[in-house]
Amino acid sequence: MSRYTYLITGANRGIGFEIARQLLAEGSHDVIAVVRSIGTAGPIKALVDENENSKIVEFDVTDRLSIKGAVKALKAKGVSKVDVLINNAGVTHEQVPIEALEDSEFERILRTNVVGPNAVISEFLPLLQQGTRKIVVNISSGLGSISMNSGYTSGGYNVSKAALNMLTKQYAVEKASSGFTFIALDPGWVQTDMGGKGAPLSANESVSAIVATLSKLTTKDNGKYMNRFGKTLPF
């Protein structure tokens, strides 16, 4: 099995943590776990400490200067490439009708879920260009599908994920000739702090499928919006 370097944002808990855990359990990959604060990282810090083929780095996806600093710090530690970038960090809001969503809250959602991933991709592009696989996975949601909109009252979140899907497609078109693969991936409704305890999927179940799908991605998948099993979803 080839050895690849994965960088995962939002790795301190939920889906991000589980992706890191399962990749490290395979024993054939290098994992860079991104957290906002190492001091409060808890389980992911312990996981990294137990695995010599992993690193933890601190930055806020909404702060480009902190992202730049993290890139510099990783290079200083000998990181020369990133094969797969997983933009997993994200936030949501209380369910309210879209017209009741405060501007400041809407802006927070968009900054974290759309502007942030763009900043991360932008700053890590040089390292991705040095990678073998050159894959960027933006963790989206079925709620980001315009054609499948069910009226679920998390409008700001839904809009942000639809925008993330377009961001994914934009990069896919612009970078296709450079051998990149950009995809938007719906992990399903998962039992996380965001998804809640009533969700039908455990993080383990969702991520097991995601990791299997990641292993099969090729440049033919560039620009796709898919579920955790790799099945194409309608934008």
- Residue 63 domain-assigned (yes or no): yes
Q: What pLDDT, on a 0 to 100 scale, did the predictor assign at position 190? A: 83
Whether 68 shows a pLDDT value over 90: the answer reads: yes
Q: What pLDDT, on a 0 to 100 scale, did the predictor assign at position 12? A: 95
- Residue 79 domain-assigned (yes or no): yes
Whether 129 shows a pLDDT value over 80: the answer reads: yes
Whether 1 shows a pLDDT value over 70: the answer reads: no
Q: Containing domain of residue 11, as a range? A: 4-227
- Residue 48 domain-assigned (yes or no): yes
Q: What pLDDT, on a 0 to 100 scale, did the predictor assign at position 189? A: 80
- Residue 90 domain-assigned (yes or no): yes
Give the burial string for 15-49 (b: 16+ CB within 10 Å, else e). bbbbbbbbbbeeeebbbbbbbbeeeebeebbebbe
- Residue 68 domain-assigned (yes or no): yes
Per residue in 151-171, pLDDT (tens digit) is 777 899 999 999 999 999 999
Cα 34 from Cα 41, distance rounded (Å): 10
- Residue 234 domain-assigned (yes or no): no
Give the burial string for 167-181 (b: 16+ CB within 10 Å, else e). bbbebbeebeeeebb
Q: How many domains does the chain have?
A: 1
Name which residue leads in pLDDT, 203 or 119.
119
Enter the pTM of the model.
Answer: 0.95
- Residue 233 domain-assigned (yes or no): no
Cα 54 from Cα 126, distance rounded (Å): 20
CATH of the domain at 217: 3.40.50.720
Q: What does pLDDT average to over the chain?
A: 95
- Residue 232 domain-assigned (yes or no): no
